[in-house]
Amino acid sequence: MKLVIGNRNYSSWSLRPWLLIEHAGLPLEEVEIPLFTPEGDALLKQWSPSGKVPVLHDGPLVLWDSLAICEYIADKSTIPLWPEDTAERATARAISAEMHAGFHALRETMPMNIRRRMTGFRPDLDTRIDIDRVVQIIENALAESERRGADAVSAPWLFGDYSVADAMYAPVMLRFRSYGIALPTRARRYQARVLDDVPMRRWCALAEAETTVIAAAEVADADVPDADVRDTDVPDTRLLDTDVSAT
């Protein structure tokens, strides 16, 4: 089984199925494509029917959508990656689909950038609405999990055990760290758990070691000089999530 991914520092959609595969313990070969390069463009044409990442190749099967890949991994996994309870599973699927289809302002103004730490980021109104909605989803899921009696230590994820929903929301926890977004207590504890997850730590270490800079994802910090504002002669930030890395 091969997973075709983009730059680890920037490609949030590549991270999602990768995390799930790691939690499932399935054998995996990775093919990393440098986004926004002539070499990367040629490789995308070779590997991806849609010209986007991630793409999963498993024998003759090719899947080019992140949520479809996650569903496939959940089907192949020997451990449950959706909640067992019907209502919980439906809710987990709903919030996963919402992440897959929504939060456009957050994606555009807060592109994933694992290496970045901003001190002066000020979200606009639409981004603030997206942030608040993500926090609401996380807080509600965790509160419901606690109400059902899930132990916060042994079962600390959105639905107790790790699920597709956790993989879908994990990159946003990285974004909140990068852009200095303050979180309420329950969501902050969840963020810490996500960031301390062994597969996440491994991905982040590899991202930190990358040297490639995609200027479109280097959002200017209000607390740094204007010289750090991104080059305008590069692809628009939205391409990171829409044209290349979001499927």
> In whole angstroms, what is the distance from residue 114 CA to residue 10 CA?
7
CATH topology of domain 86-208: Glutathione S-transferase Yfyf (Class Pi); Chain A, domain 2 (1.20.1050)
Class of domain 2-76: alpha beta
pLDDT in tens, 235-244: 334 345 533 4
pTM: 0.90
> In whole angstroms, what is the distance from residue 77 CA to residue 97 CA?
20
Q: Both tokens of residue 50?
A: 């849609």
Q: Report helix, strand or coil for 51.
A: coil
- Identify whether the C-beta of residue 175 lies closer than 8 Å to the C-beta of residue 117: no
Instruction: pLDDT band for 150, please (50, 70, 90 cuts).
Output: confident
| Residue 85 DSSP label | S
Q: How far is CA 182 from CA 8, 39, 50, 194, in A?
A: 24, 39, 36, 16
The pLDDT assigned to 111 comes to 98
Q: Both tokens of residue 199?
A: 């597969």
Beta bridge partners of 29: 2
Please state, as a whole number, how many other Cβ atoms lie within 10 Å of the Cβ of residue 153: 7
- Identify whether the C-beta of residue 22 lies closer than 8 Å to the C-beta of residue 199: yes
The DSSP annotation for 23-37 comes to: HHT---EEEE--TTS
E strands, the chain, are 2-5, 29-32, 55-58, 61-63
- Identify whether the C-beta of residue 245 lies closer than 8 Å to the C-beta of residue 35: yes
- The order of strands in the sheet holding 61-63 is 29-32, 2-5, 55-58, 61-63
- Identify whether the C-beta of residue 172 lies closer than 8 Å to the C-beta of residue 220: no
pLDDT in tens, 85-103: 999 999 999 999 999 999 9
Hey, where are the domains in the chain? Answer: 2-76, 86-208
Please state, as a whole number, how many other Cβ atoms lie within 10 Å of the Cβ of residue 127: 21
Instruction: pLDDT band for 230, please (50, 70, 90 cuts).
Output: very low
